[in-house]
Amino acid sequence: MANVVVVGAQWGDEGKGKIVDWLSERADVIARFQGGHNAGHTLVIDGNVFKLSLLPSGILRKGKLAVIGNGVVLDPWALIDEIKRIGDMGVEINTENLMIAENTPLILPVHWQLDKLREEAAGKAKIGTTGRGIGPAYEDKVGRRTVRVADLADEATLDSRLDRLLAHHDALRRGLGEPEIDRAALKAALVEIAPQVLKYAAPVWKVLAERRKKGERILFEGAQGALLDVDYGTYPYVTSSNTLAGMAATGTGMGPGAVGFVLGIVKAYTTRVGEGPFACELFDEVGQHLATVGREKGTVTGRSRRCGWFDAVLVRQTCTTSGMKGIALTKMDVLDGLKELKICVAYELDGKTLDYLPTAADEQARVKPVYETMEGWTESTVGARRWADLPAAAIKYVRRIEELIECPVALLSTSPEREDTILVTDPFAD
């Protein structure tokens, strides 16, 4: 049986939470491998709405092990708050079903403070971060001055890490006209929260290797989307980590041989949050329909999402860079009632036709979509669980998407509810 990696194939918000939750019934371990609490997954189970940011979606399944890997940047206070909030909703979270990699870097108050200060100072050049310290935390990780989970267990190590960290941040804050960090208060806060975090700490790479040897199925859960990848996204309007499937290996310590079936989550139209190029963005009544019917508000930030037609050029590109073997197509029901649908099949730039998104930022901003028009449908697709339940025009739309992105549909989601899913190919059976 294959392990499965789930990644977003657009700019995030594709519905990964529901699909991961649905797949987690077939998995034994669900491992989150990148990002931070800037990502949000909304799951609807038996009418109850669960909003997760750090906890892997599999935490909602009894008898499963949820893992936060070293590729994640972890805000310990946000984690404990989320554990309490989800616990108050009746989900038991303990050391039997949650594990955190010992080498996971922490997000500290200095990180989100710096994040906001720099965005404010950037003015029109801001890139639209969530202000949660994700970027600065990853900077400190590669700068070798971060505090990691394991450091919380030893005061001497913690002191050394703080010395190096604050030597950098205090200089930045002085340059921005801000007071230096209160070192004593920061250390006291870390010492206070340490026991609540350390009880979940473990050598995740070793545990996952042992589970794999036993034949257990591992589901790797990504955050954000492939178009926000720091290398292959619409730079600089990206997140600060690698969001592609390859990160599943390094973000958990499993190695590339453990990555099996790569499943891309794809919305039946396109959305993005924040700044950056968006060739297919709509500003008309159709765009308003997608935003309203699709309830396009960010799970974490509450920011409105920009909406547009399906961009096959972008999805074909992300299918390639993540090595996707299949996609899960979500939010088909949002297109119900539209008489006409359009799909971007190419770009025009300076009189030339392109079948990919160029790397240069100025060219990304100037590409124009080339559309193909298809017939819409008036029937409802909400809650469909078989192909036979779908209108003929909806099936044609799905098949055309498969052709254009050169990747088959493995799953089709027709509502936020867990069971409203059509299974075409079981990723775990690969």
Q: Kindly report, residue by residue over 213-242, the tens digit of the pLDDT.
A: 999 999 999 988 999 999 999 999 999 999
**Spatial CA neighbour of 71 closest among 84, 54, 83:** 54
The answer to whether the Cα torsion of 227, 7, 322, 423 is positive or negative is negative
pLDDT digits (tens, 9 = 90+) for 142-163: 999 999 999 999 999 999 999 9
Give the per-residue pLDDT at 411: 94
Helix (H) or strand (E) holding 398: helix 392-405
Percent of the chain with pLDDT over 90: 78
Helix (H, G, I), strand (E, B), or coil: what is residue 134?
A: helix
Of 280 and 426, the structure prediction assigns the larger pLDDT to 280
Q: What is the pLDDT of residue 343?
A: 98
Please report which confidence band the pLDDT of residue 430 belongs to, taking 50, 70 and 90 as the band edges: low
pLDDT band of 297, cuts 50, 70, 90: confident
pLDDT confidence band for 300 (50 / 70 / 90): low
In sequence order, the 6+-apart residues with CB closer than 8 A to the CB of 306 are 271, 272, 273, 278, 281
Backbone dihedral angles phi then psi of residue 326, each to the nearest 5 degrees? -170, 165
pLDDT in tens, 366-419: 999 999 999 999 999 999 999 999 999 999 999 999 999 999 999 999 888 878
Tokens of 15: 């519905």
| Residue 156 exposed, middle or buried by CB count within 10 Å (0-12, 13-18, 19+) | exposed
pLDDT at 262: 96
Helix (H) or strand (E) holding 52: strand 48-52
The string of DSSP letters for 231-289 reads TTSSTTSS-SS--STTHHHHTTT--GGG--EEEEEEESSEEE-SSS--TTB--SHHHHH
Q: Tell me if 355 sits within 8 A of 369, measured CB to CB.
A: no
pLDDT of residue 216: 95
| pLDDT value for 119 | 82
Lowest mean pLDDT across 40-44, 144-148, 332-336, 367-371: 40-44
Residues noted as catalytic = 13, 41
Mean of the per-residue pLDDT values of the chain: 93
